[in-house]
Amino acid sequence: MRGERGSRVVVTGLGAVTPLGLDVASTWCALREGVSGIGPITHFDAAHLPARIAGEVPGFDPVAMFGTKEARRTSRNIQLAVAAARQAAEHSGLDIAELAAEVGVCIGSGIGGIEILEQATRTLDAQGPRRVSPFAAAAALIDSAPGAVSMDLGAKGPNRAVVTACATGADAIGDAAAWIRDDDAVAVLAGGVEAAITATGMAMFGAARALSTRNEDPEHASRPFDRDRDGFVAAEGSAVLMLENRDHALARGATIHAELIGYAATADAYHITAPDPSGDGATRCIAGALRRAGVTPADIDYVNAHGTGTTLNDIAETRAIKTVFGDAADTVPISSTKSMTGHMLGAAGAFEAMVCILAMRDGFVPPTINLDNPDPECDLDYVPLVGRSAPITTAMSTSFGFGGHNACLVFAKDQP
């Protein structure tokens, strides 16, 4: 990062499709106003499931975007990723065709095209193997999303799918930044995508007792750090950032929205789903990102917390922040935007990195809605209910996933 060898990495483009909107502007507007994107599931009949609510992307029309044939052949996972990547590419103003082999794609997903697997299984059971679509394998694979983005935009540089559960989007950004610092790419479309609001996806997370079952009150179901939380709310969406070599961005006159100054990743080595209750893995991850960024906890003006709304995660994250930040933990504003979007799983880390950048741009901390009765063990400034204006020059995003994966990103306003 700033203190390491290699090129400095900046953000020149943003793209997103989320439960709050089909682009960055509408999503950010809803976040600022504290709007919930959670509602009853409409993608399938969820009446038989314990959790029947989710954060679905509203009004997304793949046929209008890709045409009937391509929409039929691709998964929703691919479609959402391409939609967000197109936005980020356009926002950056980068001529990808001119650079081609110097533009990479690093977009991950926790689960991939799960609805394609469901369809293939139903067809196999009902009609036999010959009736399974020849496009099913490619459409279901997690690496098909970055592959499709590269074909759609003509990016011929390094291409990778990252899979670290709920830390995926953050790790994809960290990996992409390394390509730029090592001169393997001039620019990289980096982020995450998830489209797991399917019967199987919801049943799996429900069986793990991870989901909120506040079905009669979906807008208030996602309650990070609240005493009455009962699990996370699953969501779909995609967020993609255009990362770029800072010298290249300046030479072409690009608008620099932020600089990525720190990234770290660790493992809990504790449990396949539960976080280490001591917060050890998260603590080491946050401390490592700050060290690489060359900043102290007192320099952080805003933290976008992982904040899932599960009992164990919220407490472990609070402990980790307290351990690393010390006295500064009591004064830094922290919020969980999952209270509004739900948990976009593999896309969450990239989206929440984007929120940090927008918060710096506008000097505004989005709220943690539904935080009516704070858990006594989650006693930091989690910006309850209503957002607030604040000067922000450096911001941090935390992401922690099933399997004990931890990732942390630190962004700052661009400086000479």
Which residues form the catalytic set? 166
Provide the 10 A C-beta neighbour count for residue 73. 17
Q: Give the integer Cα–Cα distance in Å for 176 and 207.
A: 34
What the block records as the tokens of 345 is: 């799983």
30 touches 55 (CB < 8 A): no
Work out the angle at residue 262's Cα, subtended by the Cα atoms of residues 247 and 231, and round it to the nearest 5 degrees: 130
Alpha carbon of 93 to those of 10, 204, 250: distances in Å? 14, 41, 12
* Beta strands 9-17; 258-267: pairing state: antiparallel
183 touches 6 (CB < 8 A): yes
Residue type at position 88: A
Q: Edge to edge, what strands does the sheet with 258-267 contain?
A: 159-160, 103-108, 187-194, 237-245, 9-17, 258-267, 405-412, 394-401, 302-304, 334-335
What the block records as the tokens of 242 is: 């255009």
Q: Which residue, 224, 397, 183, is CA-closest to 311?
A: 224
Q: Residue 278 carries which DSSP code?
A: T
191 touches 173 (CB < 8 A): yes
307-330 as b/e: b if 16+ CB within 10 A: bbbbbebbbbbbbbbbbbbeeebe
CB contact set of 276 (below 8 Å; sequence gap of 6+):
268, 270, 282, 316, 404
Q: Give me the phi and psi of 303, to 5 degrees please.
A: -120, 125
Q: How many helices (H) and strands (E) does the chain have?
A: 15, 14
Collapsing DSSP to helix, strand or coil, 54 comes out as: strand
Q: Give the integer Cα–Cα distance in Å for 292 and 300.
A: 14
Residue type at position 385: L
